[in-house]
Structure 1
Amino acid sequence: MKFHFAFFAFVFSSILNVQSYATLREDSIFDGCARIHNKFVTKKSNNFSYEDVKDCYERIPFDSLIASKTIESLTRLLDGFYPLLNKAKEPPQSGFSFKSRDILTELNLLKEKSFQNLYDFIINVKHFFYDMKEPHTLFISDCFSTFAFFTNITLYSVVKDDGEQIIKVFDDTIDSSNIDCEVTHINGRQAFEVIFEFAQDSVYTSRDIGVRFNTALDHNHSGYSFSVRAELPETPSIVYTLKCCKHTRSFNVTRNWVAFSNPKLLERFNNSRTYFTNICNATKENKHMSYSNGIRDTRISSNNIHRIMTKQAEGLTIIKIIDDFMEFYKIKDFGVVRILTVHYPKMYDENDKFNSAFFANIIQGFKDLRNTGVKKANNLGGYVLISAFISLLLFPDTYPSFEFDFRITEPMKLAITEQFRLATPGNVFDMSDYADAITHINFTSANDIFGNNSFTRGNITEHYSKKSRFK
């Protein structure tokens, strides 16, 4: 179901009281936004210091009226449309560690808090949603998504022969001799514990801590991996303690966080005032999506994949590579299917329909893998519709979609009815995408999905949709 898998994101463009903003000094010596602009113009540089970005972000003052309006908008949006509002109050099932949340009550408590600046407020709201560990429920601010951060070192994890899991350097763009060295400590703490804690607290992509740990080390997920972040890090630098075969003793490597951004965004401001006007307080005329901050491509290249896989297994054979999307390998009698991205635009044609040639190419990759005589295959993940397609391809007698339902509030009923009536291309409420969970018969009207179900979740009884499947 398109609605089920769509991001539930609230994009917030701040509208500040300009009079309160006018009290800030705009001298380029004191203004981080101005220093960034000067470097961008005079040195044609796209890399900036942590300190300048921090000052640029923190120069925008907190406004209690804006905070109140933001919380009010979020609570109305969630109360009317969020399918998991009551479910979020329930404790997690065994094996999961996310927090149960009374979302509306806790959000309203943020209105009572004071914050040093707008950035402090926005980060608190952003982390409120991150803590839910629900990747389809996000809060994004244009104002503080302009820059991303990198330390020129990326990491990966391996399990030693004795069963100990360790962290190693995957790539070092400053000193390549550090590649494959073990990282024993990060900022003086055990490296594995630091990565695990980051996955536990800062990665929101799954409720499974194992998945979040993998994501923290996955450079395809630039922005919320440990090495490449879309949010201002807590400290300006990181100290890595390395142990390499070439050295008899461990040694420290200190790397500063380097900020970078999309040049199109950097052209939009020259000091904190214009940053506020054109980035945070964007109007329809100058609206942009600043969270497309030009996060550099740190995806694992095929050459690097081959290097790591060759070290861990003999007899590696490349079977097929589909652009920058999917790779097929054979290691002895084990087939590895690797999906490189969570979203691949070429799976759709110009009419927003599935590209049959693209899926035929995937089928051919599996056929080529099968023809080598592999006995097992390992799917490392990817776009959910691709996962469903691969599941049906490998297990044709199964039905890979889980059944689901969602809250039927009056705003939700109105939205579904109206969208179904419009029947526009790519409509998230297209009834042809829905099927009865038991009969697998497609719904033909909005009323089909409304049903008469009443369920109690989070101690709240409400109307829920008919049990459905994505078809």
Structure 2
Amino acid sequence: NSYPSKVDACANIHNDHISRKLSFKYEDVKACYETFPFDKDNATRTIETLKSIFANFYSFLDQARDPPTKGFTYRSINVLSELDSLLKNNYTTDIQFMAFSFDQQFSMYSIVKHNGTQQIKVFNDSIDSKNIDCLVTHIDDESAMDVIIKYANDSIRTSRDLGVRFNNALASLTLQGGKISLSQQFTSRILLPKNPTISYTLDCDGKINKITRGWKITARNDSIFNNFTDSTSYWNNICINQPLQASSGLSYESKRELDEYEPTLEEGKLIIDAYIIRFYTLRDFGVAVISTESIDDKYASNNDLLIDLLSTINQGFQSFANMGIKKVVLDLTNNGGGAAFIAHYITQLLFRDIRNFPFDVKITEAAKLVIEQSTAKNISSEFDINGSYISEKTNTSFTNVSDFIGNNYYIRGGLKIRYSEKGFNSDEQIISEFLGNISKPLPWTAENLIILTNGFCGSACAHITQRLAEVNVKTVAVGGLSNKPLSFACFAGGFVVTSDTFFQYLKNLSLLNNDLMPKQFPLATTISFTVNEAYSIKNPDEVLEFSFRPSNYKLYYDEKSIRDPSKLWIQAAALIENKP
């Protein structure tokens, strides 16, 4: 079926694209999204697929029911019951696609004054630069702090720590794709905002000014316009599920649309740019700004390029050692995850004998079948035990599938749940051999290093920071809420796959139509889910995903350090113990 409306808002958007309009109208995007009436059958089939995925393959389904760990702010949840309850709501439309970006060309940050008072200020305003650094007292006539905290609590999912979510709502800098960019979620969104405008009350040196900002709306990917000209073609070519195409698995990739914002450093000399790591020297210490978030496909598909990248990363750290640098700041601010291999490489480069965190997999009949078939057919995935895991008990490959599946039951969410034996990621030996061939061990101990983050350091990033913290590398977190501890990492969970990739696995295993397996979504829908869970090495029963780990030290942004990270590097380096 197709669902054209009387005034075709989807066609309006396409026409504006042809006319090279700089922004689409909020009313058109909202109406285009709302063009397609609610279909109970599609909704029911979608919910059933989600329930099957979560029940059979999601590692944290059961532990999510437990009360929050002290220090975290979130609601414990019965995922399957919540999915059922969604069908009880009255919907009029199949709304909430994520085809467009919404940006107010306005960004904010937070400072904490010496008396502990926390304030929101203007980071950047592309429309009126006179507003930069003005105090934001109110948003839509409510306290600015209250509005940002509520938005962070209700609408941001990056961490179980509210302080980290608060940081994500506001502006901060991030290294991604080889460039420094600006990250924020309150004024830059991918879900349709509730209202077409937001008002901000500003206090600029005692002068009160109220401004109203709409949304600059652009397509997240212009190629979408090759697929539709009106609502009928939008439905047929974008909403209806297309043939299977696998997207990359084995990582959590948080692809974010960011505005480039190269900072001016008051101090610091860039000595090596390794694309995903920048190496700076300043005063008597070194800084490695690390991005785990994305490596281009060219590295994944070209072994020589990947080896060059890894060698350049090693060269950066070796340069510090050759200069006699005794203190190194590892800045992993604003990392949404990425390549597990890169995370493991960095930890083993810094500490040669380190073991990365072990994983296990939730065992259900469906998961067991996928593990058996993946291993038997040697199809590379998170479920192929030969390709993915080394036994924690024996430090060798698992003998067979039964050896991996084991017979372990843990109480999670008040229920007895079965999990596999624990295994280390099998890239450990490859990395060890590679490092042995290219370099001598680095000279530093934990006392020479410090980790700096804003708490948004997830998945692969968390596996660097949390692992180094377990060998006593100190951590410092920036921002968050005044006088509250702040996590230095988040969602340390494990390997994440997308449903697109997962259904492609099932197809490759000839399991797509198996009764135990989830059915494909009726419409073009994608969800990411964690298929294994990481454990602490220091505390072997501790599941990292639900572990509150506050930083050893805490800093706050000010008007200079929010724009110039060298200010934070200097403060972090000062916290490293000076050893003779």
Instruction: Confirm or deny a common fold (TM above 0.5).
Output: yes
Unaligned residue ranges in structure 2 (runs of 5+): 177-181, 427-580
- Report the count of equivalent residues: 408
Residue 406 of structure 2 is aligned to residue 451 of structure 1: yes
SS at structure 1 position matched to 2:121: strand
Q: Pick from 432, 436, 459: which aligns with 2:391?
A: 436
2 CA distance for matches of 1:320 and 1:67?
Answer: 51
Partner of 1:273: 232
> C-alpha offsets along residues 246-298 of structure 1, whole Å, 9 cap, x if unaligned?
x5413223210121102221232222222222221254399999xx9x97541
Cα 1:330–1:444 shift into 2, 3 Å: farther
Amino acid corresponding to residue 122 of structure 2 in structure 1:
V
* Identity within the alignment, %: 35
Instruction: From the superposition, tell whether residues 444 and 377 of structure 1 become closer, same or farther in structure 2 (CA, over 3 Å).
Output: farther
Give the corresponding residue for 2:143.
Answer: 190
Q: CA 1:98–1:225 in structure 2 vs 1: closer, same or farther (change >3 Å)? A: same
Which residue of the partner structure matches residue 454 of structure 2? none
CA deviation after TM superposition for structure 1 residue 230, in Å: 0.9
User: When the two structures are superposed, what TM-score results if normalisation uses the length of structure 1?
Assistant: 0.76
CA gap of 1:424–1:286, structure 2 versus 1, over 3 A, is: closer
Q: Deviations over 1:412-443 (max 9, x none)?
A: 01111111122235665252431233444333
SS in 2 for 1:461: strand
- The farther-off stretch of 99-108 and 220-229 is 220-229
- TM-superposed deviation, 1:233: 0.8
User: Is the 2:292–2:343 Cα contact (8 Å) retained in structure 1?
Assistant: no
Q: Supply the distance in 2 between the matched residues of 1:283 and 1:349 (Cα, whole angstroms).
A: 26
**Residues 26-175 of structure 1 mapped to structure 2, 5 A cutoff:** 26=6, 30-41=7-18, 43-119=19-95, 144-175=97-128
Matches for 1:350-429 after TM superposition, within 5 Å:
350=301, 355-370=306-321, 371=323, 373=325, 375-381=327-333, 382=335, 383=337, 385=340, 386-401=342-357, 403-425=358-380, 429=384
The 5 A counterparts of 1:456-467 are 456-467=411-422
Q: Retained in 2: the 8 A contact 1:89–1:101?
A: yes
What is the deviation of 1:453?
0.8
**C-alpha deviation, 1:390, in angstroms:** 2.6
Give the structure, 1 or 2, with the largest relative contact order (CA under 8 Å, sep 6 or more). Answer: 2
Alignment CA distance shift 1:36-1:171 (3 Å): same
Question: Structure 1: which amino acid aligns with 2:53?
Answer: L
Is the CA contact 2:274–2:309 (under 8 Å) kept in the aligned structure 1? no
Which secondary structure does the structure 1 equivalent of 2:289 belong to? strand
Shift, 1:148, TM fit: 1.1
The aligned runs of 1:212-223 (5 Å cut-off) are 212-217=165-170, 218=172
Aligned to 1:253: 211
Question: 1:343-402 CA distances to partner (integer Å, 9 max, x unpaired)?
Answer: 22268442579922212212222233442635241332434633443333333343242x
- State the AA in 2 paired with 1:115: Y
Question: What letter matches 2:404 in structure 1?
Answer: I
Task: Pick which of 234-243 and 385-394 moved more.
Answer: 385-394
Structure-2 change in CA distance of 1:357 and 1:287 (3 Å): closer
Instruction: Give yes or no for the alignment of 1:227 onto 2:183.
Output: no
TM-score, structure 2 normalization? 0.63
Q: Given residue 307 of structure 2, which amino acid in structure 1 is its aligned partner?
A: S
- Tell me if the contact between 1:47 and 1:260 (Cα under 8 Å) persists in the aligned partners: yes
Rounded to whole Å, the distance in 2 between the matches of 1:387 and 1:158 is: 31
Give the 3-state SS of the residue equivalent to 2:359 in structure 1: coil
Find the aligned partners of 1:212 and 1:75 in 2 and give their Cα distance. 27
Q: Could you list the per-position Cα deviations for residues 328-351 of structure 1 after superposition, in whole angstroms to 9, with x for gaps in the alignment?
A: 334544543323461222684425
- Structure with the larger helix share: 1
Quick check: 1:431–1:444 contact (8 Å CA) kept in 2?
Answer: no
Alpha-carbon contact 2:183-2:258 (below 8 Å) kept? no
Does 1:298 find its partner at 2:259? yes
RMSD over aligned Cα, in angstroms?
3.3
**Residue 179 and residue 429 in structure 1: after superposition, are their counterparts in 2 closer, same or farther (change >3 A)?**
farther
Partner of 1:342: 293
